[in-house]
């Protein structure tokens, strides 16, 4: 409400995206776009706008935090993988303690494989629902229109046809040559199609930033194994009692 009132006194708030003077488009805030939609005759109530903002806040924080926690846990259980990530970071940063740039994040190819493998084993959102809009046949089964399907991503990602030894944490599952012939829907931690997560690229950059920052300063050691963890299949996949790790400062 306060933002809506502030817009009413500011002419610039309702202006379209413009050039910032150096050839880049000046982006508008997501909340402004929602308010513009309401002002253009669309039926978005105050509650509708709040729900949209709540969704962005939830998807952008809770799920990403869960994924980062799982990645740190798995790296702490797999020191050989952690060492490969650290080698990659050393190649990128050397002895510098500077902050990561976007180019640095794009160069973290192996860390990206680690994150993708983490999301394969522990997808932040372990299941999604879809409404069948027309009759469809899957194998020998007819799925009639009007039925809600609950798609268990946790189990989809453990299909042995696509991921041999599916319970093993193996970032090499995402080597280009292994991904080339894999069914595009065999791995869908961000869903797929028109209802996929619009923030997946940003989430990956966030995770790279935080995980690389931790590993540049600390060696991670997990005090529990994967088989010791009790999973909570809630809206976000969580360990029942958290993940327990030790952090050791790296020698400079």
Rounded Cα distance, 183 and 73, in Å: 28
Q: Which two three-digit tokens encode residue 69?
A: 């926690």
Residue with tokens 């910032």: 20
**Which residue in 82, 117, 59, 100 sits closest to 213, CA to CA?**
100
Q: Are 219 and 248 in contact (CB under 8 A)?
A: yes
Q: Are strands 136-138 and 218-222 parallel, antiparallel or unpaired?
A: unpaired
The helix or strand, by DSSP H or E, that contains position 63, with its residue range, turns out to be helix 46-77
230 is in an annotated binding site: no
Q: C-alpha angle 232/62/215, rounded to 5°?
A: 95
Long-range CB pairs of 69-73, under 8 A, 24+ apart, other chains included: 69/239, 69/242, 69/243, 70/118, 70/121, 70/122, 70/237, 70/243, 71/114, 71/115, 71/118, 71/207, 71/211, 72/211, 72/214, 72/220, 72/243, 72/245, 73/222, 73/224, 73/229, 73/239, 73/243, 73/245
Rounded Cα distance, 114 and 89, in Å: 13
Which residues define the annotated binding site for heme? Answer: 197
Which residues define the annotated binding site? Answer: 197
């Amino acid at each position: 409400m306060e933002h809506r009132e502030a817009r009413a006194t500011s002419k610039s708030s309702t202006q379209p995206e413009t050039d910032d003077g150096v050839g880049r488009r000046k982006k508008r805030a997501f909340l402004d776009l929602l308010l513009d939609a309401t002002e253009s005759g669309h039926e978005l109530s105050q509650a509708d706008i709040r729900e949209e903002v709540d969704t962005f806040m939830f998807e952008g924080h809770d799920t990403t935090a869960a994924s980062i926690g799982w990645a740190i846990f798995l790296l702490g259980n797999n020191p050989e993988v952690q060492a490969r990530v650290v080698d990659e970071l050393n190649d990128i940063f050397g002895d510098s303690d500077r902050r990561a740039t976007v180019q640095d994040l794009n160069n973290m190819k192996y860390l990206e494989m680690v994150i993708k493998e983490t999301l394969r084993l522990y997808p932040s959102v372990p299941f999604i629902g879809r409404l069948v809009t027309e009759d469809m046949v899957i194998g020998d089964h007819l799925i009639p229109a009007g039925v809600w399907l609950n798609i268990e991503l946790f189990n989809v990602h453990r299909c042995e046809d696509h991921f041999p030894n599916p319970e093993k944490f193996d970032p090499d599952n995402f080597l280009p040559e292994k991904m080339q012939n894999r069914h595009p829907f065999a791995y869908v931690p961000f869903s797929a199609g028109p209802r996929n997560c619009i923030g997946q690229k940003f989430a990956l950059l966030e995770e790279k930033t935080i995980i690389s920052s931790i590993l540049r300063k600390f060696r991670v050691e997990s005090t529990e194994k994967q088989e010791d963890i009790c999973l909570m299949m809630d809206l976000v996949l969580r360990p029942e009692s958290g993940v327990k790790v030790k952090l050791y400062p790296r020698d400079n």
